[in-house]
Structure 1
Amino acid sequence: MTKVLIVDDEKSIRLTLREMLRKNGYEAEMAEDVASALKKLDEQEFDVVMTDIVMPKVSGLELLKAIRERCRSVQILIMTGDPSVETASQALHHGANDYLIKPIVKEDLLKAVGHASEIKALSDQKKRLELENQLYQKNLERIIEQKTLDLQNTMESIISLLSTVVEVRDPYTAGHQRRVGNLSAAMARKMGLKEDTIKMLRIIGYIHDIGKIEVPAEILSKPGKLSEVEFMLIKNHCTTGYNMLNEVNLPKIIGETIYQHHERCDGSGYPRGLKDEEISTEAHILMVADVVEAMMSHRPYRPALGLAAALGEISSGRGVRYRNDIVTACESLFLEDHYEIEDTVYHTTFPVV
């Protein structure tokens, strides 16, 4: 039921209007001045306020302004015995929705209040829908956050599993992928790359040798020099890794970077002989990290060569096999920042690509 507040300093008018409204299905209350009207508005909610303009002490226009400071949705009808353009203009300027001319005719009253009631109902409905939409959005955000977390956990589990599979078959290089992933991330951060790129490089490094799952274990752990056929099988791990990851719902950059991590700037790498800009920045970083970590670590066919030898290799290949800025970042990381190769597994959120 629409609730109306009638504000007028003349009691007879208040009573007459209240009676008209109540007989036509409205709930109506009265106030004799602005102060008592504001008090009622503080205590109750009204859909429509009808106020006279000329009243003792404080005018109806002041009441109008006070109501609008509190609420924009209450419908306000001005009652006036002076139906001038100026009066109407002032009322509308201060936020009135309509005005009635005294003496008020019943039909005009019911028409104006009915129209105001409909507008207020529509305004209330709009507010409810907006609130429902806000609640829906918040609930949807919570669902998306949970689904994203579940996906992150699944992706992390897949990465961990893939990394472990390689290490089980090639125990002599256990930890190599983690160390390369961590070094790649550190180099990317040194170069000022975006956080998503840093996270992605760490993940790619953790599984960059996944293709070795297809290489016979005896070749992976062979202490002597590999034959040409055996070396060809080893070289094929880039293509195998790429093909495997293309079958999994992972970002394409992962498989492509693994495919490219043995390429070289001058085209002397494998498996496709890519050059310079044909190779992604991620792959350029990963190839340098892979070379440095491999030379610093023990292998079945040789002992660890150390940091100096590893940096010597990338320095001698600067601008030829390896991209100049990436070599510089790697050298700075070790020589200035005193970076130490680390075997830690970092659990990181999966970047959005």
Structure 2
Amino acid sequence: MNSDPSSGPVGTPRRTAGHSRLEPPTETPIHVVDDDQVIVDGLTHFLRQRGFLVHGFTEPTQALSVIREGPPHLLIVDRNMPGMGGFDLARSALEEDPDIGVIILTGAREVELAIDAFRLGVSDYLLKPLDFGEIERTVRRVLIRRSQEIFHRDTESRMRRAVENRTLELERKNKLLEGVTVGALTALVDILEQKNPHFQGHSQGVAVLSEKIATEMGLPTIEVRACKTAGFLHDIGMIAVPDKLVEKTSPLTRDESAQIQQHCRIGKELLDPFTHLGPVPDYVFHHHERIDGSGYPDGLAGMDIPMGAQVVAVADSFRALVEPRPYRTAHSPTEAIEILVGAAGIWHSDEILSALARLRPSASA
């Protein structure tokens, strides 16, 4: 173990309840674990310079013993270490305290790594060789998200008690839970938007437009809410798609297209455990289906495609057209509607496109 007693006692400071304010570095313990002493020393020195309470370890088992005595706010751990690997240490640490933020150090960005990491509860990962600017941004991002998640959980707990004390009807309770869940899932959407400028603001834009289209069509209130939620979360599976594919300006290969198409399945798998989201996971799964059966993942056609998925698909297509992409400039809203209406009956249904045309949405709404 490489630790410095002068950095302060190992442990978790008292949390401030009632808000998601980020605690100062001097009250934020961080553990760095890597079998490479040079990396441990470099990260420890860098983070201590920024005021954090940092303890470095080259032995994962020693780190785990210290974690059991008092969990840190953040664990930075190498993925591949002899004996106990990074994922094993992260799993054991999160069993001690699920609030620990975890950053995995790895030599390669892989789809399987991203999926396994987020299923385990890992907050983020950093590629070697390490870039100190990226380290600082990632540490801050993870600590902010940790604070937000604690706040959301405490909020959920308070809302649960309020619901039970006031004996509210089941529909009201589910609505409150859905709001908390979406708030927690926003952290993943934030990661997606931070990693890829292409996605910034896109999810919120699709959510707002999906809600407007569903309302214009006269769909029931519960369906309008589901469309809005699915619109916000429709691309959450893209968190596992390599950035280089999203940013590629040349045509994708068949294998690259298949990788991107997996985001529908990954998104559904991430959302399925939240049963109170109702049809939202299915809408996310099918939002790339096309009315003529040419879409994916299942090649559904016509009314076999859930109506909510069709609404999100139109909103997503419109927003994609009015936003710039690495391979083209943005279309105007008028041009976007003309493109979509020109493909009516092929990509999307006349009914939903008519609702979109009546709304005359702008590029920012």
Structure 1 length as normaliser, TM-score? 0.53
The one of 139, 142, 158 equivalent to 2:166 is 142
The answer for the alignment partner of 1:46 in structure 2 is: none
What's the CA shift string for 1:210-252, capped at 9, x where partnerless?
1111111121122333222212211111111112212334424
User: Are residues 148 and 278 of structure 1, via their aligned partners in 2, closer, same or farther at CA, if it must alter by over 3 Å?
Assistant: closer
Instruction: Describe the SS at the equivalent of 1:155.
Output: helix
- Measure, in 2, the Cα distance between the counterparts of 1:192 and 1:295: 25
Identity %: 30
Match of 1:155 among 181, 203, 212: 181
Q: Post-superposition shift, 1:279?
A: 0.5
Residue 221 of structure 2 aligns with which residue? 195
User: Which of 332, 340, 351 is 2:362 aligned to?
Assistant: 340
Distance 1:258 1:156 in 2: 14
| 1:304 paired to 2:330 | yes
Structure 1 residues without counterparts, runs of 5 or longer? 1-137, 344-353
Q: 2:237, 2:264 within 8 Å by CA — same for their partners in 1?
A: yes
CA separation of 1:140 and 1:190: change in aligned 2, threshold 3 A: same
Match of 1:104 in 2: none
Per-residue deviation, residues 21-68 of structure 1 (Å, max 9, x unmatched): xxxxxxxxxxxxxxxxxxxxxxxxxxxxxxxxxxxxxxxxxxxxxxxx
Q: Cα deviation per residue 1:299-346 (whole Å; 9 max; x = unaligned)?
A: 122111222331122211212321111010001110xxxx32446xxx
Q: Does 1:266 align with 2:288?
A: no
1:329 corresponding residue in structure 2: 355
Q: Write the distance in 2 (CA, Å) between the matches of 1:184 and 1:299.
A: 21
Question: Corresponding residue for 1:215?
Answer: 241
| Separation in structure 2 between the aligned mates of residue 150 and residue 307 of structure 1, nearest angstrom | 35
The answer to whether residue 300 in structure 2 is matched with residue 282 in structure 1 is: no
How is 1:14-29 mapped onto 2 (pairs within 5 angstroms)?
none
Sort the Cα spacing of 1:219 and 1:320 in 2 relative to 1 into closer, same or farther, 3 A.
closer
Among residues 298, 320, 324, which one is paired with 1:294 in the alignment? Answer: 320
Find the aligned partners of 1:152 and 1:333 in 2 and give their Cα distance: 27
Q: CA deviation at 1:270?
A: 0.7
How big is each residue's C-alpha offset from its partner over 1:276-298, in whole Å with a ceiling of 9 and x where there is no partner?
A: 11101101111111111101101
Q: Are the counterparts in 1 of residues 163 and 173 from structure 2 also a CA contact under 8 Å?
A: no
Aligned partner of 2:252 in structure 1 is 226
2:270 is the alignment partner of 1:248: no
Q: Which runs of 5+ in 2 are unaligned?
A: 1-161
**Which moved further from structure 2: 239-248 or 325-334?**
239-248
| Maintained 8 Å contact 2:211/2:224 | yes
1:185 is matched with 211
Change (3 A) 1:159 1:173: same
Amino acid at match of 2:357: E
- Give the match's secondary structure for 1:236: helix
| Paired AA for residue 298 in structure 1 | P
Distance in structure 2 (CA, Å) of the matches to 1:322 and 1:201: 16
Partner of 1:176: 202
- TM-score (norm. length: structure 2): 0.51
The one-letter code matched in structure 1 to 2:327 is Y
1:173 partner amino acid: F
Relative to structure 1, is the Cα distance of residues 149 and 195 closer, same or farther in structure 2, using a 3 angstrom cutoff?
Answer: closer
Rounded Cα–Cα distance in structure 1 between residues aligned with 2:238 and 2:174? 31
For 1:158 and 1:189, the matched residues in 2 are separated by 26
